[in-house]
Amino acid sequence: MIAIIDYDAGNIKSVEKALLLLGQEVKVTGDKETILSADKVILPGVGAFGDAMATIRERGLESVICQVVDKGTPFLGICLGLQLLFERSDEAPGVKGLGILKGEILKIPEKEGMKIPHMGWNSLHLENDGRLFRGVAEGAYVYFVHSYYLKAADARIVKASTDYCTHIHASVEKDNVFACQFHPEKSSDVGFQILKNFVEL
């Protein structure tokens, strides 16, 4: 069973639908025991870093997420779910992230002729042999919607990057923790392959 953590942060239904198409048993839940007993766990999210961390803490989910990671359960953060795994964000000065991975979330710098948020399809540069990207071609296009981007402290955990106004760490992997800034559930066949790779871990 795959648990999708429900903390009122957007894109949950589209993630659930994609996993059901892959033939998976899925539970959208905020229940601690259900999350801890899952075979795999996904932290989705669309919205603001500070609000999301406040809700996660109010519902007692921070320690649950850390327990899931510590016991080696495959864990996937998507979009805001990636950002929350890191230490801090320009979007919410003074608010601590989960700190499971080292790095910071920065505001995408303004660049003439380019719109923020970064919204739409962009190509990936694959690096460091990421398990999520088996069967995915170099330069494959995926769907992004974000105004803030990851700069990971350790380049070795970066498995895909893209360029939009700056160099963006688009996907990371460390041990049992995986995360994508883009939306695999909205990225057509490429995203379907990425999710398939996750469920087959």
Q: Are 130 and 170 in contact (CB under 8 A)?
A: no
Angle, in degrees to the nearest 10, between helices 188-199 and 12-21: 70
| 3-state secondary structure at position 184 | helix
Active site residue 79: yes
| 3-state secondary structure at position 29 | strand
Characterize the bridge pairing of strands 158-163 and 75-78.
unpaired
Q: Are 82 and 179 in contact (CB under 8 A)?
A: yes
Catalytic residue among 79, 146, 173, 180: 79
Q: In whole angstroms, give the CA distance from residue 47 to residue 125.
A: 26
Q: In whole angstroms, give the CA distance from residue 131 to residue 103.
A: 21
Q: Are 79 and 183 in contact (CB under 8 A)?
A: yes
Active site residue 125: no
Place of tokens 């296009």: 141
Catalytic residue among 16, 91, 173, 185: 185
Q: In whole angstroms, give the CA distance from residue 142 to residue 73.
A: 26
Active site residue 127: no
Q: In whole angstroms, give the CA distance from residue 171 to residue 160.
A: 5
Catalytic residue among 62, 104, 183, 200: 183
Active site residues: 79, 183, 185
